[in-house]
Chain A
Amino acid sequence: MYGGQLPTTGFSGVIYFVVGLCLIVAAAVAAGARWLLGLFR
């Protein structure tokens, strides 16, 4: 019955929040790297 577990009733869309936040962090890192490279040119 459900793989020996009680039904999962949590929010299944949490993966979108996690991936979204990771992408925004990646964007911030890329922008920061670009700014740093600009400083030393």
Chain B
Amino acid sequence: MRVLRVLAWVSGLAGCAMLLYGGFLFWDPFATQRQHALIGDLYQQWDQPSQVSQPSEPRQPSGCTGSVPQVRPANGEPFALIRIPRFGPDWEFTIVEGATLAQLSSGPGHVTGTEFPGQPGNFAVAAHDVTAGNPFLHLGDLRPGNIVTVTTKCDVYRYAVQSKQVVRYTDIAVLDAVPGQPGERPRKQLITLITCTPVTLAFTPYRIIVTGHLVSVTQREVVREG
């Protein structure tokens, strides 16, 4: 009897603690703070002059000499900002390098091995639908023609959404430089946005894939205070 009473109390308390911790992770109250810190880091990084320069390319006031990062960002390092006006005027996240669970816990992540913005091919970005600030919670609401903006140190890339599909998690052909055509030489500059679907707490084998193509590139305006 005593053993059962202890077992009931210990299991009950541990179970409640686990549920509360799971709820804390799901709620993720510090996601906004982490994003603000990353955005601050990114602007600080952009304010520093480039370490490697190519004299043949035109220079911007920020020290930019090209659109593609001259050094591949380290895993977890922010290197771009993504904005999707349809999700609201304040919707803005940094894109970090890598798309493992650890990297996605801070926000959207660049799928390593796919191209960077400004390169011909496919720039793939994955993000959580829930937790980490719920970046891609409404990814399925995007419609053809909606604009996705990616800002790097030098340039602002505007992509127009062209298609949306649901695939299984094993369908990595969507990451090809020319989606679905491995080995094909890319001519267009595409963006692919990825998140789980449907929204659920459990594992889901399906991913929603939104693809867009580049419609314009402009230089990033460097605003300096003081």
Contact = CB atoms under 8 A, between A and B. Distances in A.
Interface of A: 1-2, 4-17, 19-28, 30-31, 33-34, 37-38
B184 interface: no
B171 to A, nearest CB: 7
21 contacts: A4-B172, A6-B194, A7-B100, A7-B111, A7-B126, A7-B194, A8-B196, A9-B126, A10-B196, A13-B22, A16-B22, A20-B19, A21-B19, A23-B14, A24-B12, A24-B15, A26-B15, A27-B12, A27-B15, A30-B4, A34-B1
B127 interface: yes
Interface residues of B, number: 51
A30 B7 contact: yes
Prevailing SS type, chain A contact patch: helix
Interface of B: 1, 4-5, 7-12, 14-19, 21-22, 25-26, 99-101, 104-105, 109, 111-113, 126-131, 136, 167, 169-172, 174-175, 194-196, 200-204, 207
Given A6-B174, A27-B12, A31-B8, A13 B19 contact: no
Given A20-B15, A20-B17, A34-B4, A1 B26 contact: no
